[in-house]
Amino acid sequence: MLATTTAQANDDLSNVCPNPIRMADTGIEGMGPLEEAFGPFAETFQDVTGLELEMFSLSNRTAAGNALQYDDVDLVFAGPSEFVLFEEEGDIEILFAIERPHYGSSFFVPAESDIESLEDLEGKHVALKDTGSTSGHIFPSKMLVDAGLDLDDDLEITMAGDARIAALVNGDVDAMGGGNRDIEEIEAMDPEGEYRVIAKSDVLPGDPVIMRGSLAEECKTALRDTLEANADVLWESLIATERNEDKFLNRDSSMGFGRTSEDYQVVREAYEAAGIDL
């Protein structure tokens, strides 16, 4: 029999926090998809905190950073790159993070390729994901630089976005750099093909839920304590939707507390190594 988890009774946090409390997600566009992805989580959040979670759809990371800076939102569901970018612009803190044990970057080549290492990519054509993607651009770039390659002179890089998988499968590029789990999409597109990983990064720090720093200290402390005390039921509600189940549950993720800015130093170093300004 499956065990059930119920929310713990808590004091109403509206005496120390804004109510409603406003949250945005940098990875979802449109209110419909946003509410669909986070509806159950918002209900549980209100159950355990007494605060209505009001969702905001923001078109991109720049809009989210500005909203935090000007107190238009209180929380942002972001990625590691967004965190270090937002921290450059203003005072922010981490509420919790989604820890993903498979979250990292890999380089893939066809099994029959003579490419054995990143150094062998000199003079080759490589597809990466979207500009600014933590696992699909920033860390693959750092890996290439660490291998001694000049990103401008030693190889041709195409920022292929969602077309990166097809570019590799169709032979339009010699290699592809992206997230570790991209191998699943490669195999789905080319079930008869065989591919190898020639390089893999360490596990990257998790996706943080960011608080604006100007929230009252009592509010930030109460939110951390209350959410951590109810982490199990909040996690169950977060992965209750199809989108989040696929993104988080099926990838062995978990809700983690205790992340600090120092944990994301590796991301700042990746930007610097790749020659990309924050």
Choosing among 3.40.190.10, 3.40.50.1980, 2.40.50.100, 2.40.50.140, the CATH entry for 14-101+204-273 is 3.40.190.10
Class of the CATH-defined domain 105-200: alpha beta
Q: What is the mean pLDDT of each run of 10 residues along the chain (278 residues)?
A: 40 92 79 80 96 86 86 92 90 94 95 98 97 91 96 96 97 97 95 97 94 96 96 92 70 86 95 83
Name the nearest CA neighbour of 241 among 10, 76, 32, 5.
Answer: 32
Q: What is the DSSP letter of 178?
A: E
Q: What is the pLDDT of residue 29?
A: 62
Domain chopping of the chain, boundaries: 14-101+204-273, 105-200
Q: What is d(CA 160, CA 200) in angstroms, rounded to the nearest whole number?
A: 20
Can 14-101+204-273 and 105-200 be said to share one CATH topology? yes
Long-range CB contacts for residues 151-154, cutoff 8 Å, separation at least 24: 151/274, 151/275, 154/121, 154/122, 154/123
CA 174 to chain centroid? 27
pLDDT tens readout for residues 201-242: 999 999 999 999 999 999 999 999 999 999 999 999 998 887
Q: For residue 31, give every residue at least 6 positions away whose Cβ sits within 8 Å of its Cβ, in sequence order, or none.
A: 55, 57
Q: Residue 81 in contact with residue 132, Cβ under 8 Å?
A: yes
Please give the DSSP secondary-structure letter assigned to residue 7: P
**Strand intervals (E) in 111-174:** 125-128, 156-159
Which ranges of 170-207 does DSSP label H, i.e. alpha helix? 182-189
C-alpha closest to that of 205 among 275, 137, 260:
260
Task: Tell me if the pTM is above 0.75.
Answer: yes
